[in-house]
Structure 1
């Protein structure tokens, strides 16, 4: 099926006019992502152990601090609050593997819902998946999900 762009910023498909603008479509995708995030958070919250949180505090937090993440992600300024285990864990969980999840994608500026928008407005924190802090995030993924 081929989509054509019309002059009023609405998409037309082979089945007729789609009445959603790009902005409306983005809002729906963003809402779906938030619902997914909330679901993952609820599932993960019931399975959190003290050992998992201790690993996070001992290994992940120092990397976040070293890479100036707290400049934006503290208090109520910009979510997630990265020094809060329960807030950052869902970003690690959304994805299919240690090197394919939302946290790695944001830190490498790999993808976004809109192609012309940076995945992480704070800048690219990992030049590749294998450098810090992404290397530590992948080890964290192994600790959380390879049990």
Structure 2
């Protein structure tokens, strides 16, 4: 919390970092603050949530209820996610660059029968259709 207060004091110009080692120094305006002659209102620091894999375990809801998928569509969705992870790993890309979860969920829900139907799904452009279309149909059992 003291770091947040210090950042605010620097932003207000009451404290400054000086010299080679960024030593903190009070500025002229700080005297009035310390004497109570100037009212100082600081924002309360929000508590940060921990980051990293350990903190995310179990934090995200399953895709089924959130994306409105029934049990069979959920299985197709999971298969598409596994395929996407493999492709992303092969190309050294984040998975969402291949397709977003909402696009995969729509594929799992609609189960397109051919490339034309697949191309009608939001998030499936001409390039992605050409690059991944046949593989997606294979994963969905439509090849």
Q: Does the alignment reach a TM-score above 0.5? A: no
